[in-house]
Amino acid sequence: MTCPLLEYRRDGGDHSFETARAYCTATETFVEPMRADICNDRYDLHHAEDCEIYESHASEASE
Amino acid sequence: MSYERYLDGDPVIITAALTGGVHGKEANPNVPETPAEIAAAAQACEAAGASVVHLHARRPNGERAFSRERFQELTTAVRDATDLVIQHSTGGTGAPDDLRHEPLRTDPAPDMASLDMGPLNRYDHLTSENTRALVGSLAAEMRERGIKPEMELFNSGHITEARRLVEQDVLEPPYYGTLIFGGGTLTRPTPGNFLASIHDLPDETLFNTLGFGPHQLPFAAMGIVFGGHVRVGLEDNVYLRRGEKAESNAQLVERAATLAETLERPVATPDEAREILGL
């Protein structure tokens, strides 16, 4: 399962790309490639455990 | 010892780190990501004075890739476009150990490959572990395939690890290590730490100097003056100066080459770099 905050977009903010890239809907920014592996739960990474942005978002949502 | 190399006018090897595995075009649209973009950037860097190119592979959307196939496509494109010494990254925070070996398995093998010498933190929750077992297995495969390790020394503990490998005869001289300065678990970027680091290296070690972000330029200068080599590029720093993003990797290489020439050290050609590094 990938992060529910993840989208793939070609445009956002001041950026425009030829290929859709990982975009975090919580921070409203395109995601660094290393962080995109967390968003996608690749390898042994998991967004709920390894991403402080998701952690903060989930914490706010539960309040 | 190292200042004598400066006084002797030994050539300085400039390594161009073009892409990296952390940020991409979202940080600076001039970061090359596709094999064609990376090959073109490498060619421009060679013309600007680079003699070594440090390579990371990416997926078409810019995300990290570690497979042999991705590295094969990339390294072939760069070899076809340049005469540079080819250095593959084996770094990969969060990637499983078996994937970390894949960049060593291209045909031909890379001339060099990075060897991260121990743990470092990323973000709030990740650590690139780089266990002794992984470092040892990567070093062994490099030796078997005739690949020279570029030891990445992110902090002083990693210099201790380098000394251990030298004592165990795992590496062949001349040893080559990149001293890395920056935030987090990296050596704090101060001139004092730089001097302490170069004096702590094992005998017969040539050093490369890498400062992240705003430290790229001053640490390149220190590396040149103290007889070391330098690494620059958009992997480590996306700015030319404060508030102004770099237009290309070649722009950063050209600045380093100008710096070396101003300080009266010649810039090594790729063939000179091969000789210096014992390739």
Q: Express each pLDDT in B187-231 by its tens digit.
A: 999 999 999 999 999 999 999 999 999 999 999 999 999 999 999
Contacts of A15 in chain B (CB under 8 A): 25-26, 29
What ipTM does the predicted assembly reach? Answer: 0.93
Instruction: Tell me: pLDDT of A62 over 80.
Output: no
Using pLDDT thresholds of 50, 70 and 90, give the confidence band for residue A21. very high
Give the one of B23, B60, B63 whose C-beta lies nearest to A22's C-beta. B63
For an interface test with B, give the residue of A32, A42, A51 to mutate (most B CBs within 10 A). Answer: A32
The amino acid occupying position A57 is H
Using pLDDT thresholds of 50, 70 and 90, give the confidence band for residue A58. confident
- Smallest CA-to-CA distance from B42 within B87, B80, B78 is with B78
- CATH number of the domain enclosing B131: 3.20.20.70
Q: Do A50 and B125 touch (CB under 8 A)?
A: yes
Instruction: Tell me: pLDDT of B17 over 60.
Output: yes
Our CA-based measurement puts residue A35 at a distance from the nearest CA of chain B, in whole angstroms, of: 8
Domain that holds residue B103: 2-277
Instruction: Tell me: pLDDT of A34 over 70.
Output: yes
Q: Do A33 and B123 touch (CB under 8 A)?
A: no
Dump the DSSP string for B56-74: -EE-TTS-EE--HHHHHHH
Contacts of A43 in chain B (CB under 8 A): 94-96, 99
Q: Do A45 and B126 touch (CB under 8 A)?
A: yes
H or E segment to which residue B92 belongs: none
H or E segment to which residue A7 belongs: strand A6-12
Distance, CA of B206 to CA of B221 (rounded, Å): 16
Contacts of B238 in chain A (CB under 8 A): none
- Smallest CA-to-CA distance from B134 within B103, B171, B97 is with B97
Strands (E), chain B: 14-17, 52-55, 57-58, 64-65, 85-88, 112-116, 120-122, 126-128, 148-153, 175-181, 205-211, 229-232, 239-241, 244-245
Number of structural domains found in chain B: 1
pLDDT reported for residue A60: 81
Instruction: Tell me: pLDDT of B1 over 60.
Output: no
**Which residue has better confidence, A1 or B60?**
B60
Instruction: Tell me: pLDDT of A14 over 90.
Output: no
Interface of B with A in 120-159 (CB under 8 A): 122-126
Q: Do A51 and B125 touch (CB under 8 A)?
A: yes
Distance, CA of B167 to CA of B42 (rounded, Å): 36
Model confidence pLDDT, tens digit, residues B162-189: 999 999 999 999 999 999 999 999 999 9
Contacts of B99 in chain A (CB under 8 A): 43
Interface of B with A in 52-91 (CB under 8 A): 58, 60-64
Calculate what percentage of chain A has a pLDDT beyond 90: 79
H or E segment to which residue B250 belongs: helix B249-262
pLDDT reported for residue B106: 98
Give the one of B24, B125, B126 whose C-beta lies nearest to A33's C-beta. B24
Q: Do B123 and A52 touch (CB under 8 A)?
A: yes
The amino acid occupying position B102 is E
Helical spans, DSSP H, in chain A: 33-39, 47-50, 52-62
Kindly identify which residue of chain A lies nearest to residue B125, measuring between CA atoms. Answer: A50
